[in-house]
Amino acid sequence: MTAADLVVVADALHGTTGEALAVADGRIVAIGDRRDTSGWGGRGTRTVHLPGVVLPGLVDAHAHPVLGARVSRGLDLQGVRTLGELRTILTRACREAAPGAWVLGWGLSHDVWEGAPITAASLGSAVDGALVLLRMFDAHSALASSAALARAGVDGPRTFPSGAGVAVDAEGTPTGVLQEHEAIDLVERLVPVEALADVAERLAGHLERMAAAGLTGAHVMDFEGDPAALYAAVEEADRMPLRLRIHPWVDPSTTEQDWDALIGATGSGGRLWRLHGVKFFLDGTIDNGTAWLTHADCHGQSVRSTWPSPAHYAAAIARFAAAGVPTATHAIGDAAVRHAAASIAAARAAHPGSLHRIEHLELTGDDIVDAVAGSGAIASMQPTHCTRFIRADGRDNWSARVGRARAGQSWRTRALADRGVMLALGSDWPIAPFDPREIIAEAQTRRHGDGEPVGAAEALSAAQALAGYTTGAAAAAGHAADEGRLAVGMRADLTVLAADPTQCAPEDVPALSVNATVVDGRVRHLRG
Ligand SMILES: [Zn+2]
């Protein structure tokens, strides 16, 4: 054996009988007990002794780090619960802003309006008269003040082929709600662009906090706004502690030439950040009435696909499958999941072994769970979207829209796992917090804090929840053979926690300290 670059000695190694491992060239080259380590080192070997348990590196299967860095600009509104609170914060910010300056905010919940219509006017005239743009928590909608809309020349309804649009009241006057990114962009493009160094600094900070929470990688579900220079700047500064696998969007207006360009770009990037697959949106969100449901929601909304021609989507899936490029499809409503599964099943019949995943799967009846299982798709799900945004009593925007009759069809993690579907888990950060320990816990409890469990029958076991961040994430990336487990030859991406999360009560997992992370054989986070 060549001398190891790194030797990690801990109390235990998850899934093995060992307590130490050696790493060379980014791979695990030996596993054994403490006594074996004397034969592993050489000149230049770094040995770290850590309390706790070494796990395969935890990977968030769905995140948007650059979007998070860009939108976490301005006021953090994630904790705001009432309209009164929001008015107070914004009124002060508008008063303190320089004349003509923008007031920006992010992370705002629809539930602040408690079911009343969401309008910029409800923020009060002082706010509505200033240049204000607030990102809703789901990143699929925003609220712009009247002054901001006027500046953008938006004075009536606008719609886009994708279903994006400017919401209007009965008189045809914009309410301030901008749905989906083309509509948001009508106003956002007027906001002064930040210097690259400022966004890069925020991105590096977010990635470092992700590492400190135990993450060694993330599947990045966008490549919007030409972020290559940002990623490069962060890596150049040696501040990229996560392996990032990036999936640019394929929208309905793209042509076969665009698809071929994306196929050609796959694999490009830097050392730890690479274009890996592609991402489709078959629908929007239930919260905004833009999902694709088999039966409309209580407002008669969420009835169609983002792809005007779902057959065109199926053709795109087949094209990427033929080229060996992994696909990911955002499909939240049951009709969207059904169409994704059917398209993937057809692509896999023609191209066996092609890799496809479905993102979110928020609403699925038994027939659709079976269709997903039969398709060979991997299910990429976000348990905290259920535990944080849905209430067991149904008194939230999402539940009101789908109605009580369909409440039992939400976030069916257990049903999917029991039917043999490979599950990858993640946060969708910045939509929800990224801490994997909290998500692994809430996947088991189906509740946040003292809240009532939401759909307790869909709770995962501890082993299933951890697998979602390890073997499931590896499978979703097409790396089941060399990532997600601790064994000789596997990639040395490691997370060291104070205890094994499969041996703790789920309630205790969020408090487990992250003693270290290793990415590509290099210690990236060490508990200070
Ligand atoms: Zn997302």
Its CATH architecture, for the domain 249-481, is Alpha-Beta Barrel (3.20)
Please say whether the beta carbons of 90 and 132 come within 8 A.
yes
pLDDT tens, position by position, 50-89? 999 999 999 999 999 999 998 889 998 988 999 999 999 9
Q: Distance, CA 184 to ligand 1 centroid (Å)?
A: 16
Q: What is the CATH number of domain 74-188?
A: 3.10.310.70
Half-sphere exposure of 144 (CA within 13 A, CB side): 30
Q: How far is the CA of 428 from the centre of ligand 1 (A)?
A: 5
Q: What is the mean pLDDT of the chain?
A: 95
Q: Model confidence at 140, in pLDDT bands (50, 70, 90)?
A: confident
Q: What is the pLDDT at residue 161? A: 76
Do the domains 74-188 and 249-481 sit in the same CATH topology, yes or no?
no
- Which token pair is 153? 């020349």
Residue 451 has pLDDT above 90, yes or no: no
Distance (angstroms) between ligand 1 centre and the Cα of 27 equals 30
- What are the boundaries of each domain within the chain? 74-188, 249-481
Convert the pLDDT of each residue in 297-336 to its tens digit: 999 999 999 998 999 999 999 999 999 999 999 999 999 9
- Which of 74-78, 241-245, 323-327, 374-378 has the weakest average pLDDT? 74-78
pLDDT at 128: 86
Q: What average pLDDT does range 238-252 have in this prediction?
A: 97
Farthest-apart Cα atoms in the chain, separation: 79
Query: Mean pLDDT, to the nearest integer, of 128-134?
Result: 94
Mean pLDDT of 121-143: 90
Is the pLDDT reported for residue 1 higher than 80? no
Measured in Å, residue 113 CA sits from the centre of ligand 1 at 24
Q: Provide the β-strand partners of residue 360.
A: 331
| pLDDT band per the 50, 70, 90 thresholds, residue 511 | very high
From ligand 1's centre to the CA of 453, what distance in Å? 24
Q: Rounded to 5 degrees, what are φ and ψ at 155?
A: -125, 10
Which helix or strand (DSSP H or E) is residue 260 part of?
A: helix 256-265
Beta strands in 227-302 (DSSP E): 243-246, 273-275, 278-281
**Each residue's pLDDT tens digit, 194-228:** 999 999 999 999 999 999 999 999 999 999 888 99
Closest residue by Cα to residue 177 from 253, 249, 122, 99: 122
Side-chain-side CA neighbours of 97 within 13 Å: the count stands at 20
Q: What is the mean pLDDT of residues 471-476?
A: 98
Task: Decide: helix, strand or coil at residue 184.
Answer: helix
What span, in angstroms and rounded, lies between the C-alpha atoms of 96 and 100? 11
Distance 180 CA to ligand 1 centre (A): 12
Cis preceding-peptide flag for 430 (omega within 30 of 0): yes
